[in-house]
Structure 1
Amino acid sequence: MAAAGGAEGASDSPALWAEVRALLPRSEEGLTLALSGEVEDCVLPLLRRARALLYGAVGLPGAAAAAALERLSDVLRDYSWEKLNAGPWREVGKGWRQVYTYGCLFGALAEVAAGRPLARAVRLCDLGLLMGAAVLDNVLARLVRALQPHLLPAPPGPARAAAAPAEGQRPAHSARLRPPPAPRPEHGIPHLRCPSLEHFRDNYLVPQRPVVLEGVMDHWPCMKKWSVDYFCQVAGCRTVPVELGARYTDEEWSQQLMTVSDFISQYIMDENNVGYLAQHQLFDQIPELKEDISIPDYCCLGEGEEDDITINAWFGPGGTISPLHQDPQQNFLAQVFGRKYIRLYSPQDSENLYPHESQILHNTSQVDVEDPDLVKFPNFTKAAFQSCILMPGQILFIPVKYWHYVRSLELSFSVSFWWS
């Protein structure tokens, strides 16, 4: 039952079905459908019917069973989606997120059973990973990893021209960007090469002083492997949230789900569009990328466990900006490729930075750092700052609550580690 599916991919359905079926419990009773929270009574019968269809056939489900499983998947996803979007995300019950995950799981399995191209099955897995909650030992992550090798790679295209610029090469976007202010010595952030844990703790962590660390990430595989081509190869078919617009405080700013390949072609290769992949789940969603980085040893000086560290990805063209803002945790910002201009302000200067009054943006300044309106924000000139141009292979320590403004000078990829 093989079929050619282009970049979407396809494969021999019985063989692939056996492979993905092995990821599930052997018996129907083993798939417990346990939910961490209450859901409406009508949901569990739907889940049980979908489970019965899944286990009703010894081998590959027939066309009628696959179609029925797909319909149930649609109902489960649509119904739980309404619950996920009924109010603030923090108030969404975990049970409803798990129902959404089961809906995505049954939908992806229905796609495999029907022998269709696998792009939709992979997208359903990604939606469940992004919006749902883990079930069955995070089965969606294991399922998408099994499906991905059966997807044919996207044909090579112009993305090769957008790889990280070679040393001394002028990046494609530099012509339309204003140069960053050169850091003056009194404003510069100190640099340190591979300090001991004790030295970093006593001189920077405890007194809460920013510092640029060098040599710490030289051995990370990402420093040699990562490029636009590599992302297309490893994650091109994966669906991720993308921020559209130069900065999140702009009125036209929005978010959209799209594949990594579409993001690269529309927002990396096209200089007329500005988009940014700012992802808090990318490394959990795509473990192949997580294997290419390491958590800095200095995070062990924190109070939390390693599992409490949040790892974020920041991938976008030159010109994208993170407005002046502060975060509630310590931050290591690691630069993999490209350069970024960064300016830091102490929390002691918060009043001079004019934070937004709204609850949503209370951690963000109203001031355009590089073009401030001093009539509207006169005290901004009283705030002292430090700045740097963060180069590939450098890690900036941003203490908790320190205000930071970031502008990409060219195509760049950064990884940040939030820890307490």
Structure 2
Amino acid sequence: MAVTGSAEGESDSPALWAEVRALLPRAEEGLTLALSGEVEDCVLPLLRRARALLYGAAGRPGAAAAAALERLSDVLRDYSWEKLNAGPWREVGKGWRQVYAYGCLFGALAEVAAGRPLARAVRLCDLGLLMGAAILDNVLARLVRALQPHLPRAAAPRPGLPRAAPRAAAPAPEGERPFHSARPQPPPPALQPEESVPHLRCPSLEHFRDNYLVPQRPVVLEGVMDHWPCMKKWSVDYFCQVAGCRTVPVELGARYTDEEWSQQLMTVSDFVSQYIMDESNVGYLAQHQLFDQIPELKEDISIPDYCCLGEGEEDDITINAWFGPGGTISPLHQDPQQNFLAQVFGRKYIRLYSPQHSENLYPHESQILHNTSQVDVEAPDLAKFPNFTKAAFQSCILMPGQILFIPVKYWHYVRSLELSFSVSFWWS
């Protein structure tokens, strides 16, 4: 589809409205407004009024109907947002998340119907995908895919610094080389041979199962992701072109245990400008829904075959994205699932401790951080944590094209040595 003339993309197109409208049920009664959980009685009438406005016109809603639909969207989102933030996320009812998703859907449709620039409509879709629950056969994901081609694809902001690919093999296409961070990083500790994680090239399923999965031993796998399209395609420029207008959660700060650490929603382009290009800030894109939110990126990776050795189904595998500058740190912590950490570009220093050494790693006593050590791995306070020296560890520098197997409950510390992008697969 051709991009229209506006800097933000225009929605004032009968063809676009027809394409958007085709994503919805033909008849009003087909948009069922079914909610998976109880909500307050005042909500359903608001949803029905919004639906009636959407279907009231034979074609595209007029200006008055679009304005009324926008007002109802604001009410639905504001009201459900309070419910979403009233307590722990795990206690939020799915029905309220669906109400929020409907509010985002009606708001995005109102933007398109009113003929406004599409950036706000895309943002509303992303908010619904991030905070809401799936509705109408995941209509928000389908809607944003219809809208995005009408937005101009902006290249990444250019710094006054040279750019260089972080690896010699599989260079990115011309003009799309990943940035090197100019922020100086201390070198990683020297790797001793007896402490190094073993490397293995494309082991058979049986060999990996018998020698690493069953005995729960870490290993670096090589050659497994060489054929993934991301190894040739992904760069800062590419992310800005494919997803620059998309809203994602960003972690602000070097590590999540810091007092000043926080989270914020922003577009990928803003993240690149503020936390990749600006060396004075530290931010990290840590996204648990990125590949569902932006399917173009998911098409560039593959679930490692070794995940089939687990007990769960493929749909149960959680795929996470980790994108940020050098200097970002994941403090020593453990996760409740097996983990394949795949490095696309950049390098990471990683240290691993067996769960057998947990008592020497001084986990936080609070429930929220019980899976995280109090020890700063590279600068430990041995007066405060004297038994830390008793814990044996393994370490590696994870290079582009390598996948690290981190067994379930294995403690791991990660420091980005430069601008990097990793993909992790959590499986049972």
- Asked if 1:47 corresponds to 2:47, the answer is yes
- Is residue 354–residue 366 contact of structure 1 (8 Å, CA) maintained in 2? yes
Q: Deviations over 1:373-416 (max 9, x none)?
A: 00000000000000000000000000000000000000000000
Deviations along 1:255-311, one digit per CA (max 9) or x if unpaired, are 000000000010001111000000000000000000000000000000000000000
Q: Deviations over 1:56-94 (max 9, x none)?
A: 011111000000000000000000000000111001000
- How far apart are the structure 2 equivalents of 1:231 and 1:419? 26
In the TM superposition, what is the alpha-carbon distance from 1:15 to its structure 2 partner?
1.5
> Relative to 1, partners in 2 of residues 1:17 and 1:157: Cα closer, same or farther, differing over 3 Å?
farther
Unaligned runs of 5+ in 2: 152-158
Contact between 1:104 and 1:124, CA under 8 Å: does it hold in 2?
yes
**Are the counterparts in 2 of residues 159 and 269 from structure 1 also a CA contact under 8 Å?**
no
Do 1:163 and 1:228's aligned partners in 2 also have CA atoms closer than 8 Å?
A: no
Alpha-carbon distance, 1:11 to partner = 4.0
**Shift of residue 333, structure 1, vs aligned partner:** 0.1
C-alpha displacement of 1:313 = 0.1
Superposed CA deviations along residues 78-112 of structure 1, whole A, max 9, x for unmatched, are 00000000111001000000000000000000000
Match in the other structure for 1:18: 18
Deviation >6 Å, runs of 4+? 1-5, 153-175
- Residue 12 of structure 1: how far off its partner (Å): 3.7
Deviation at 1:13, TM superposition (A): 2.6
Q: Are the counterparts in 2 of residues 239 and 260 from structure 1 also a CA contact under 8 Å?
A: yes
- For the 8 Å contact 1:159–1:265, the answer to whether it is kept is no
CA distance in 2, matches of 1:417, 1:140: 25
Distance change >3 Å, CA 231–CA 2, structure 1 → 2: closer
Task: Please state how far the C-alpha of 1:7 moved relative to its aligned partner.
Answer: 3.9
Cα distance in 1, alignment partners of residues 260 and 7 from structure 2: 32
**Is this contact kept in 1: 2:337–2:407, CA < 8 A?**
yes
- Given the superposition, is the C-alpha separation of residues 382 and 155 from structure 1 closer, same or farther in structure 2, using an over 3 Å criterion? closer
**Residues 334 and 118 of structure 1: is their aligned pair in 2 closer, same or farther, counting only changes over 3 Å?**
same
CA 1:336–1:75 in 2, change beyond 3 Å: closer, same or farther?
same
List alignment gaps of at least 5 residues for structure 1. none
Q: Deviations along 1:170-209, whole A, 9 cap, x unmatched?
A: 9976765xx0012100000000000000000000000000
Please state how far the C-alpha of 1:42 moved relative to its aligned partner.
0.4
3-state SS of paired residue (1:122):
helix
Is residue 282–residue 312 contact of structure 1 (8 Å, CA) maintained in 2?
yes
- Measure, in 1, the Cα distance between the counterparts of 2:160 and 2:75: 32
Distance 2:21 2:175 in 1: 51
Whether the 8 Å CA contact 1:246–1:319 is kept in 2: the answer is: yes
Does the Cα contact within 8 Å between 2:165 and 2:179 map onto a contact in 1?
no
The 3 A distance-change label for structure 1 pair 77 and 175 is: closer
Cα deviation per residue 1:318-350 (whole Å; 9 max; x = unaligned)? 000000000000000000000000000000000
What is the RMSD computed on CA atoms of the aligned residues?
3.4
Please name the residue that 1:342 is paired with.
350
State percent identity of aligned pairs.
94
User: 1:38 and 1:15 mapped to 2: Cα distance?
Assistant: 38
